[in-house]
Amino acid sequence: MRKLFLLDAMALIYRAHFAMSKNPRINARGLDTGAVLGFTNTLLEVLHKEQPTHIGVAFDSPKKTFRHEQYADYKANRQAMPEALALAIPYAKRVTAAFGIPVLILDGFEADDIIGSLAKRAEAHGFEEIYMMTPDKDYCQLVTEKARILRPAFMGNAAEVIDIPKVLARFEIERVQQVVDILGLMGDASDNIPGIPGIGEKTAKALIQRFGSVENLIANADQLKGKQQENVVNFAQQGLLSKELATIHTDVPLPFEPENLQYTGPQEAVLRELFEELEFKQLLQRVLGAEAAGARAVANQLKKAAPLPPKTREQGKGDKVAGGQLDMFGTPAAPLDAATETDEVVRETGEGESDELVIQSLNHSVTPSKKTLRDLPHRYHLLETAEDRALLIRYLGAQTAVAFDTETTSTDALTATLVGMSFCYQPGEAYYVPVPPTDRAATLAIVAEFKEVLENPALTLIGQNIKYDWLVMHHHGLTLQGRLWDTMLAHYLLEPEQRHGMDALAEAYLDYTPIPITDLIGPKGKDQLTMADLAPARVYAYACEDADVTLRLKALFEKQLEEQNQLGLLLDLEGPLVPVLARMEEEGITVDVAALATVSTQLGAEIKELEGQVYATAGEEFNLGSPKQIGEVLFDKLKIGSGKVKKTKTGQYATGEEILSELAAEGHAIAQLLLDHRQLTKLKSTYVDALPQLIRPADGRVHTTFNQAVAATGRLSSTNPNLQNIPIRTEKGREIRRAFVPRDAGHLLLAADYSQIELRIMADFSGDETMRAAFANGLDIHTATAAKIFHIALDAVTPEQRRRAKTANFGIIYGISAFGLAQRLKIPRKDAAALIDAYFEEFPKVKAFMDQCVNQARDDEYATTLLGRRRYLRDINSRNQTQRSFAERNAINAPIQGTAADIIKRAMIDIHAWLDASPELQTRMILQVHDELVFDVPLAEVAVVSEKIAALMVQALPLPGGTPMEVEIGLGDNWLKAH
């Protein structure tokens, strides 16, 4: 029987890269070959274990796809591809070809479109077994009776075949075709597919169960209620577009010729040369048989390879004590990294025989997996009596550091109900204290017993995302004191661009897989439980493990931070900032719903008016949310853009923002009208109509979440809502700030904003006398810059010259090119190049500083801020010019922007400490957005608070060269006025 395997190369390479990124495998030429090795092993496993008759490997095209033409922001949030991964892709293609397997790629299409199209045609050609090998859930829409998904084995999880029943069960649907309806409704953050606001996976499943499809849902929106009905009506076109973007196309113009996909074996000479280049010595010997000079084919060689004898060890089993007298100072259990593995692949990927050992998994002599709780000695205790709690408290009181974690009913810390607390002060031994979640009085009484421990200022409390635990405990009567040591923040400092979740950290650093929460409460969906639904006996091992793993991670990260001189950054800045942000999240900010409603009505009217103007210009009505219909009107009917018409790979006209902007610049009024319509529609849906839905009924305020461990620069970000991105450059965007107001008529909003902080840091770090003097003397820096580069007096500078100088100040120091500057200023490129030359001629120390930043980063592969925060720049020496240039710009940007972030964080800590030490003051810090802090201030406190806040911000972190900071204070009865 013919068996066709179609492999999603990009997904497999990504998976291999990130699985091996902690222990990179570097060959003699300095090439990181880990991702190539992982991909090759997956390929070999398919060839050996599955023995396909036909096989192909699909790659994404590096060019934009037809989806980008449909939606300009498709995948816009994707981070730049790591250098090692980018270098692995060409090698993966060479490996594939060397094995005699077709490399499947087509410009304008993604790998899933190629695989979907070939799977469909293979089925039409009579193939009975078709397997699409990928970890991507989106492929579920392609599953048929003959075409299934093969999810590869990974991180201890066995390989899995996903057929129609599994798809239907996974998505809770009746037909496979409905997968794409669910994907369209819920959207996809990684691909930046918007979906319909307010609809997550659970709601999407329920709606599709009820209505069957996105189209039918929209047609029957009148059956919905409240905000859900409003969102479905207002975002109907966005929902349809999202469904289209999520749909894997099965009509890719690739020929299907079965003989071209038939597997006949490798090109041994090519494969040998490639393996030697990659230094896969053991792999070369096993696959091709070095001593036999490649006399046998790969499949036969793999079958005959003799397995190495497995390792053995005694498996220690820990005691799980429930109640009773506890030996608090008993012999600690062995640390996670002290145990050897049973029948497992050694996962070191540097020196030695790692590639040989990985191959053993193909012969089933060893099974790659992480350690779990079953493998390790441990003593976890469930404490359910007052006597046991008292004993634990006594011993906790004798400690200097304790790992602490909470179990709750929700991921929303402000509304979560406490279920239990876990403690760990020595590896392998931990304690879980449950509370009755349905009896708040009893819960508060148990929590109060731990007051002397959790409010002990001399104790170091270790947590993973400890701000969450701080908020939960504060809601239950205690304020965590002492030094807060957060393993999430520690890892953020060590590796700012990687994942910081506890499970990921445990697997990467401890080679350990914690108990999945779904083992306790079940998978996401309508039947998922909460911790409150479980008996403490089912929870305590999971809870104790969290505290235990956190304590072990702390020991590892503390050592690494010390080695990198970043421990002070954690202990003196990031840690002390945690309670500051927690208080701000609790406080929230009042939103004037009536003001937003007014703006929404105004925007709605303007959008309607724009629609009418578009229809009048076009001479007909059409769907303004349909790129297809827009293209037909613009190019088929109106015949505009002659000679510049672009089409997508599917033959549809391209009508993205770039195309419309070009047409508008040529004087085509309808193009500008369409751009204005899109801008106002997005503003209305994303901000004006969404903000009221985020108001908490309990206090009538919006409570954003501040994220410390997201932005690689060190800046804070915020979510639900994202207040960092509220638009202020347009008049309509600024109106949104008008809706943020003080708590009552007796308060004002105070906005304190650092003035030109990044330029001041540049002046200080570079030592440029002209820039420093301008700031020291209180001159307008942009006017001073214009006078310098245009060689004129200060009072002779024109507004246009100042504008050019301002753009140069904020662009050139971050590596803007002549082309980029020309675009921003709308001037010829030669004039922009002359402006850059003049700038560097007049500010030579700025150029010298920029060059120094880049050269230092080339040596270190990272840049540092004033306080030692690192931004890793692993692409700084890349052979890829685009990636190298991006890293070079970050080498200049990171020290400046990161230092600015450190300064405002220090100011927040100092201001919070001052307010905390002044109980007579009722002023509250409520927002941080970029270089601005916002406060809710009683009228009677305005004078004293304004002066003190400005002083603390100016003095927060003095620059080494003495360049002064300046803070602008604004007051108003809404944020717009205060700003």
Q: What is the mean pLDDT of residues 607-631?
A: 88
Tell me which of 201-210, 486-495, 731-740, 908-917 is least confident.
Answer: 731-740
Q: What percent of the chain lies above the pLDDT cut of 90?
A: 45
Query: Residue 218 — left, alpha, or beta (φ > 0 → left; ψ -120 to 50 → alpha)?
Result: alpha
C-beta neighbour count of 294 within 10 angstroms:
17
Claim: this prediction has a pTM higher than 0.75: no
Q: What is the mean pLDDT of residues 381-398?
A: 94
What is the reported pLDDT for 155?
53
Structure token digits, residue 712: 């690689």
User: What φ, ψ does residue 719 adopt, rounded to 5°?
Assistant: -140, 155
Question: Tens of pLDDT along 772-796?
Answer: 988 888 888 889 888 888 888 888 9
Question: Tens of pLDDT along 401-452?
Answer: 999 999 999 999 999 999 999 999 999 999 999 999 999 999 999 999 999 9
Question: Tens of pLDDT along 691-710?
Answer: 898 999 888 899 999 999 98
Question: Tens of pLDDT along 6-63?
Answer: 999 988 988 888 776 656 677 766 678 888 988 998 898 898 888 899 999 999 887 7
Q: What is the mean pLDDT of residues 938-954?
A: 96
Instruction: Compute the mean pLDDT over every residue in the chain, rounded to the nearest whole number.
Output: 84
What is the reported pLDDT for 387?
94
Contact 159, 185 (CB under 8 A): no
Distance CA 258, CA 760 (A): 65
What is the reported pLDDT for 642?
58
pLDDT tier, 65 (very low <50, low <70, confident <90, very high otherwise): confident
Contact 714, 898 (CB under 8 A): yes
What is the reported pLDDT for 21?
62
What is the reported pLDDT for 322?
31
Exposure class string for 690-717: b at 16+ Cβ within 10 A, else e: bbbeebeeeeebbbbbbbbbbbbbbbbb
pLDDT tier, 365 (very low <50, low <70, confident <90, very high otherwise): very low
Query: How far, CA to CA in Å, does 48 sit from each of 51, 180, 305, 363, 908?
Result: 6, 34, 11, 9, 59
Paired residues of 722 in beta bridges:
none
Contact 23, 508 (CB under 8 A): no
Distance CA 937, CA 924 (A): 7
More confident residue, 307 or 718: 718
Question: Tens of pLDDT along 826-840?
Answer: 788 888 888 888 888
pLDDT tier, 344 (very low <50, low <70, confident <90, very high otherwise): very low
Question: Tens of pLDDT along 921-945?
Answer: 999 999 999 899 999 999 999 999 9
Question: Tens of pLDDT along 569-594?
Answer: 999 999 999 999 999 999 999 999 99
pLDDT tier, 67 (very low <50, low <70, confident <90, very high otherwise): confident
pLDDT higher than 90, residue 76: no
Question: Tens of pLDDT along 230-270?
Answer: 889 888 888 888 888 889 988 888 778 888 899 988 888 88
DSSP state of 462: E
Residue matched to tokens 């300046």: 966
pLDDT higher than 60, residue 330: no
